[in-house]
């Protein structure tokens, strides 16, 4: 502890004016409070220079804001795993897949064949070593015992870092043969009554399975192969436009832990005397379907549902990844269909909707429904749960009654209005007609008018059979902050008229949850006849299911433009991908590797493949740039030669003038010397007092510029003529004076012995190329001077410059079309991505610019505002007839 005295006149230790101080850990002196008689010394306040205020017009300030708001280098991370060799393979496969149409069943058949091959390989391997199959990539038992929880929890991209799924608390994990007394995969086939939701929030998936069970064969198509003895099961699912296969073992989570692991539960259980308490504990808490932690079948020995749920969870990374969703998206993943969202308030003709839509349930369409879609809390409406997904099992029109049978995937909780269990509408005749039994099993009937009143949204999924073909193409686009139709669009060419289903989709981020980034996207598109401003149809705005949008219509043969609009929203509470990687790289290496690989493979779909037209445009642009650069360099070289030539001429002129003056003075002196000799003057010549003779001597170190032309360049260094000392005719020695040179000397050397500069010669092409190459090499190896960043406060980045707008999304267009038997081998649909040409140089090639302007003008016609946009009228051009035509078209496709 140190002490200091604030009074310079009083140095006594115990003086009233002495102040006791101490030092903090950082070394700073800390003074006590409460003494107001003296000014306490304080640390100096760092000087902050005053920030300069820019004087800008309002427009300049706005322009500067937007310039800082959007990133100068847009882009998205496409690979999370370093040096991932698999993404290139997927990109090449996707590039080949977009070149032709395939049947909707071709992808399923390929995935099913791969799944069977995997199961067969694993069975052979396990039987060879006499072991049951244990999935090293999704090992529930090891993951639970070692507290890794990678099979339960997703990667967290929230602050604070609470992993989704942290509330899951299964007690143990055991094999199917250890849980079930007599396990069977199917017992009388999969039905809606089999479905019982567990502790995972995947009611949407359970509802989808209930819906699938109404159409025979749909669930059976998902489980392709299995071997119960070995413990291996293979399933297929639909993801991002293609079917995939997935393999799991037979471990399942149980609610209760083992008998030997939980002390208090064991003490309570052992209060009753039992012959074999451990076996009794297993039968009560760890046997058959009721012991499972997640989904379970109603029958105690049936296993298909928990194994399918487990495989679906593995395909998406973990059990937490499948929490929350929409039944329509679940049906898409299980059937490969296309789901449309229909709000009850948007139905125009309810009679048509009943006859042409609902009565065809389980034929061309599958239906789900939900209510409370605009709410944020859970509630109930006469037994109907809000924010909960139900499946429509059946629709009947009997004796003037329009009734529908619905299924709650919980297996309990039913409608309590008319036609509910025990209501007055039921009679023995109606029970027999509808084959219904009362019971709290989640299965109930409801009238059509009550359905429209109590439910707010329907999810209708169209199914595709072997008569449909599909073409698809993917790309990556940069999404600007301004909401408008994108410059990049799709081109569709169809050779046969008929019904088509057009789907615009983004990647399903559920299977790389945690790495999906800070932006969410809503998609929309319009269909235009190529070159027409008016559109034929546009997609419905997505309010809940944002993964894809679609339209169904009949198209004539021809070319069409698909204009895309993408609404991006930034979620600041979501961590960026690089931060998630940094947070998990050390602690969850295996989890990050698996999810990162899924991310990389997904984004390889959107890798931009250069088309032949784009390659030709790029090469032409690069050639123009190179030629322009060489022309600029040649111009610089010629300009430098002209400047050097001009300077050399001026320098040589100065030298010649000095030499001429020196010779004139020397001639005068020599003349004077001859006169003295004639008079008999024998005095030895003496140098001038002022040293003019030395001053008149030329500079021996002076050199003529190296750029002088001619073979006599070496003569330019010749010394100026001096007096010649031979003996004169009077016999005087050299010491008595030099004899002056003859006058012919000055006449012949009147130019001072210096060469003249010729006119600037032209360089040959070869010489010019050599100089251009030397110039470019010099520029290439020129050291780059890195200036340190400015430390002035006015140069600090604002919040938008530190983290600018950078929204990038991978989107894909799928087109389903129905074909006849004779057209199955023909190329009916052709898709391509049309991007704006970044290499258009109107200053370089007027012809190319004219063609490019014409093409861009045609493309811009289909990029106008929607007809219901408030600014539409202001953007229309021409007279009334032209304006009307831009809205309704010319009537060809009406």
In the set 388, 516, 621, 645, the catalytic residue is 388
How far is 566 from 481, CA to CA, in rounded Å? Answer: 10
DSSP, collapsed to helix, strand or coil, labels residue 621 as helix
Q: How many CB atoms lie within 10 A of CB 54?
A: 9
DSSP, collapsed to helix, strand or coil, labels residue 19 as strand
Q: Name the helix (H) or strand (E) containing 682.
A: none
Q: Note the residue count of the chain.
A: 894
CA pseudo-torsion sign 871, 872, 873, 879? positive
How far is 393 from 212, CA to CA, in rounded Å? Answer: 9
Cβ(819)–Cβ(496) below 8 Å: yes
Q: Name the helix (H) or strand (E) containing 825.
A: none
How far is 65 from 59, CA to CA, in rounded Å? Answer: 10
Cis peptide before 149 (omega within 30 of 0): no
Quick one: DSSP state of residue 572? T
Q: How many CB atoms lie within 10 A of CB 822?
A: 7
Closest CA to 401 of 430, 439, 362: 430
Q: Which two tokens stand for residue 504?
A: 């615009």
Q: Which two tokens stand for residue 277?
A: 């308490």
How far is 411 from 192, CA to CA, in rounded Å? Answer: 9
SS3 content of the chain, % helix, strand, coil (to 5): 35, 20, 45
Q: Which two tokens stand for residue 849?
A: 């610019």
Q: How many CB atoms lie within 10 A of CB 244?
A: 16
Place of tokens 């010629």: 638
388 is catalytic: yes
Closest CA to 103 of 375, 556, 466: 466
In the set 214, 362, 408, 550, the catalytic residue is 408
Q: Which two tokens stand for residue 372?
A: 């409370």
CA pseudo-torsion sign 537, 543, 544, 547? positive
Please provide residue 168's backbone torsions phi and psi, each rounded to the nearest 5 degrees. Answer: -70, 130
DSSP, collapsed to helix, strand or coil, labels residue 615 as helix
How far is 543 from 376, CA to CA, in rounded Å? Answer: 14
Angle, CA of 729, 732 and 734, to the nearest 5°: 110
Q: Is 322 left (phi over 0), alpha (psi -120 to 50) or beta?
A: alpha
Quick one: DSSP state of residue 557? S
Which residue blocks in 683-764 are alpha helix, DSSP H? Answer: 692-696, 743-748
In the set 203, 210, 223, 369, the catalytic residue is 203
Place of tokens 């604002």: 798
Cβ(269)–Cβ(281) below 8 Å: yes
**Residues classed as catalytic:** 203, 388, 408
């Amino acid at each position: 502890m140190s002490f200091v005295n604030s009074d310079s006149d009083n140095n006594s230790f115990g003086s009233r004016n002495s102040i006791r101080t101490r030092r903090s850990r950082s070394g700073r002196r800390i003074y006590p409070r409460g003494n107001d008689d003296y000014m306490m010394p304080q640390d100096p306040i760092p000087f902050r220079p005053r920030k300069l205020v820019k004087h800008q017009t309002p427009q300049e300030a706005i322009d500067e804001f937007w310039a800082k708001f959007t990133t100068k280098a847009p882009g998205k991370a496409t690979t999370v795993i370093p040096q991932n060799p698999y993404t290139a393979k997927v990109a090449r496969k996707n590039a080949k897949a977009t070149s032709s149409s395939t049947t909707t069943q071709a992808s399923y058949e390929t995935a099913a064949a791969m799944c069977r091959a995997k199961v067969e390989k694993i069975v052979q391997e396990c039987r060879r070593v006499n072991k049951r199959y244990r999935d090293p990539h999704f090992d529930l038992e090891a993951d639970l015992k070692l507290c890794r929880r990678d099979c339960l929890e997703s990667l967290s991209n929230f602050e604070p870092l609470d992993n989704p799924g942290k509330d899951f608390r299964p007690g143990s994990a055991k094999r199917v043969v250890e849980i079930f007394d007599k396990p069977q995969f199917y017992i009388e086939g999969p039905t809606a009554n089999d479905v019982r939701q567990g502790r995972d929030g995947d009611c949407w998936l359970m509802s989808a399975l209930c819906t699938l069970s109404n159409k025979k064969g749909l669930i059976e198509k998902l489980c392709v192969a299995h071997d119960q003895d070995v413990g291996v099961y293979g399933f297929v699912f639909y993801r991002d436009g293609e079917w995939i296969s997935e393999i799991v073992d037979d471990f399942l989570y149980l609610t209760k832990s083992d008998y030997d692991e939980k002390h208090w539960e064991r003490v309570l259980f052992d209060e009753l005397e039992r012959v074999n308490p451990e076996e009794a504990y297993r039968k009560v808490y760890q046997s058959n379907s009721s012991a499972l932690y997640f989904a379970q079948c109603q029958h105690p020995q049936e296993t298909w549902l928990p194994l399918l749920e487990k495989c679906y969870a593995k395909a998406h990374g973990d059990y937490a990844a499948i929490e929350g969703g929409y039944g329509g998206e679940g049906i898409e993943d299980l059937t490969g269909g296309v789901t449309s969202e229909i709000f009850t308030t948007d139905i125009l003709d309810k009679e048509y909707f009943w006859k042409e839509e609902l009565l065809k349930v389980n034929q061309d369409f599958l239906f789900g429904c939900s209510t409370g879609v605009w709410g944020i809390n859970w509630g109930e409406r006469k037994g109907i749960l809000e924010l909960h997904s139900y499946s429509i099992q059946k629709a009947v029109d009997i004796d003037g009654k329009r009734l529908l049978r619905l299924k709650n995937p919980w297996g309990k909780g039913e409608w309590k209005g008319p036609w509910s269990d025990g209501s007055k509408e039921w009679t023995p005749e109606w029970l027999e007609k509808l084959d219904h039994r009362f019971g709290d099993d989640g299965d109930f009937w409801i009238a059509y008018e009550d359905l429209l009143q109590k439910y707010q949204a329907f999810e209708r999924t169209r199914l595709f059979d072997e008569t449909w073909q599909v073409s698809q193409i993917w790309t990556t686009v940069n999404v600007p902050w301004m909401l408008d139709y994108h410059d990049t669009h799709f081109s569709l060419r169809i050779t046969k008229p008929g019904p088509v289903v057009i789907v615009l989709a983004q990647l399903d981020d559920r299977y790389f949850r945690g790495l999906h980034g800070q932006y969410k996207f809503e998609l929309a598109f319009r269909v235009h006849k190529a070159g027409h401003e008016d559109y034929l149809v546009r997609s419905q705005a997505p309010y809940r299911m944002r993964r894809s949008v679609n339209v169904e219509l009949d198209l004539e043969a021809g070319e069409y433009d698909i204009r895309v609009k993408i609404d991006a929203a930034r979620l600041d509470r979501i961590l960026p991908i690089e931060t998630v990687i940094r947070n998990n790289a050390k602690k969850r290496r295996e989890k990050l590797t698996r999810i990162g690989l899924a991310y990389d493979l997904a984004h390889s779909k959107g890798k931009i493949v250069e088309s032949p037209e784009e390659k030709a445009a790029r090469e032409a642009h690069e050639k123009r740039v190179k030629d322009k650069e060489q022309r600029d360099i040649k111009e610089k070289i010629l300009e430098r030669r002209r400047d050097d030539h001009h300077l050399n001429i001026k320098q040589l002129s100065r030298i010649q003038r000095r030499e001429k003056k020196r010779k004139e003075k020397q001639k005068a002196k020599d003349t004077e010397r001859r006169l003295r000799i004639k008079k008999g003057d024998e005095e030895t010549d003496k140098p001038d007092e002022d040293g003019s003779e030395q001053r008149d001597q030329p500079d021996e170190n002076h050199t003529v510029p190296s750029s002088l032309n001619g073979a006599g360049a070496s003569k330019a260094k010749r010394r100026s003529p001096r007096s010649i000392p031979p003996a004169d005719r009077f016999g005087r020695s050299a010491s008595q004076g030099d004899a002056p040179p003859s006058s012919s000397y000055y006449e012949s050397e009147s130019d001072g012995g210096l060469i003249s500069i010729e006119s600037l010669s032209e360089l040959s092409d070869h010489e010019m190329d050599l100089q251009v190459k030397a110039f470019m090499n010099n520029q290439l190896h020129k050291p780059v001077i890195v200036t340190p960043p400015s430390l002035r406060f006015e140069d600090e980045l604002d919040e938008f410059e530190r983290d600018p707008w950078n929204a990038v999304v991978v989107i894909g267009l799928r087109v389903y079309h129905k074909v006849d038997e004779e057209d199955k081998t023909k190329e009916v649909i052709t898709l391509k991505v049309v991007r704006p040409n970044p290499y258009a140089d109107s200053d370089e090639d007027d012809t190319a610019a004219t063609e490019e302007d014409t093409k861009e003008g045609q493309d811009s016609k289909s990029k106008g505002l929607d007809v219901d946009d408030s600014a539409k009228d202001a953007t229309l051009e021409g007279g009334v007839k032209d304006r009307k035509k831009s809205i309704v078209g010319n009537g060809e496709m009406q």
